[in-house]
Amino acid sequence: MLRTRPETITRPAQRLTAETGTHCPLSGLWAPNGEEAAPANVLEGSIMPTYRSDRVQWTLLKPFRGLVGSQLGSGSQLGSGSQADFGLQG
């Protein structure tokens, strides 16, 4: 029988989520639940936006580690403290 040490067992990573209107807990690429094809770049501390004018639950797809807003590029959609609507097309 193969024995596994407890420290070698890994749990599946839990996805970080945040709701529209709350402060973003971590800078990164976020997508509304069920709408991964509609991601938005949101900076830590900014207000999570609405999507198609609705309040939604956002899921972190990819964190931006060690970056500040100016390093994300001029074409990025960044949370600015307002509830911008990122789902205008649709």
Q: Give the structural domain span for 50.
A: 14-64
Polymer length of the chain: 90
Q: Flag whether 7 is in a domain.
A: no
What is residue 40's predicted lDDT score, i.e. its pLDDT? Answer: 96
Give 60's pLDDT tier (boundaries 50, 70, 90): very high
Q: Flag whether 2 is in a domain.
A: no
Dmax over CA atoms of the chain, in Å, equals: 58
- Across the strands, what pairs with 59? 17, 31
Query: Which comes out higher in pLDDT, residue 74 or 7?
Result: 7
Q: Are strands 28-32 and 57-63 parallel, antiparallel or unpaired?
A: antiparallel
Question: In 3D, which of 29, 35, 75 has the Cα closest to residue 51?
Answer: 35
Give the total number of structural domains in the chain: 1
pTM: 0.61
Q: Flag whether 23 is in a domain.
A: yes
